[in-house]
């Protein structure tokens, strides 16, 4: 059995980063994936900062300097870091509303031997990553 697959996608101007990743994961039935690499830019961002209840939004021109997270048809958890034209960098939990400026070139790894799920496990109040091995 093949253990890993690599996916490469390119998002185009105007596409929503999170929604597009979710659509790709669902269309390709990815059950245990992770973001390996992303280079791109945004015109609008929508991020939830650490331990904050609401989102933070902005418009302009931003470079995606990091995108990382776990992906699954059972739920994903993605963080982003972006920088502005002065190099000021912010980051947090990726929400919908991050709009591609020129491109987002994304490489996704996928395990064929695991299944990722997001469920409450009693350690926190949130749905956390649960890892199952495929038979």
* Cβ atoms 88, 101 nearer than 8 A: no
This prediction has a pTM of: 0.94
121 assigned to some structural domain: no
47 exposure class (CB count in 10 Å sphere: 0-12, 13-18, 19+): buried
Which residue segment(s) compose the domain that 40 sits in? Answer: 4-116
128 assigned to some structural domain: no
Query: Residue 88's domain is classified under what CATH number?
Result: 3.30.1330.80
Q: What is the pLDDT of residues 82-135, one digit of tens each?
A: 999 999 999 999 999 999 999 999 999 999 999 999 999 999 999 999 999 987
Q: What is the DSSP letter of 16?
A: B
Return the pLDDT at 135. Answer: 75
**In the chain, how many domains are there?**
1
Summarize the confidence of residues 75-79 as an average pLDDT: 98
Q: What is the pLDDT of residues 90-103, one digit of tens each?
A: 999 999 999 999 99
């Amino acid at each position: 059995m093949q253990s890993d697959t690599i996916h490469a996608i390119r998002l185009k101007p105007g596409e929503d980063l999170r929604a597009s990743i979710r659509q790709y994961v669902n269309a390709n039935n990815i059950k245990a994936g992770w973001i390996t690499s992303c280079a791109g830019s945004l015109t609008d961002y929508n991020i939830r900062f650490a331990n904050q209840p609401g989102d933070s939004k902005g418009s302009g021109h931003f470079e995606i300097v990091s995108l990382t997270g776990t992906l699954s048809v059972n739920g994903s958890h993605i963080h982003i870091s972006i920088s502005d034209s002065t190099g000021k960098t912010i980051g947090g939990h990726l929400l919908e509303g991050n709009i591609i400026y020129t491109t987002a070139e994304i490489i996704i790894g996928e395990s064929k031997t695991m299944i990722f799920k997001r469920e409450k496990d009693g350690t926190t109040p949130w749905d956390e990553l649960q890892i199952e091995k495929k038979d």
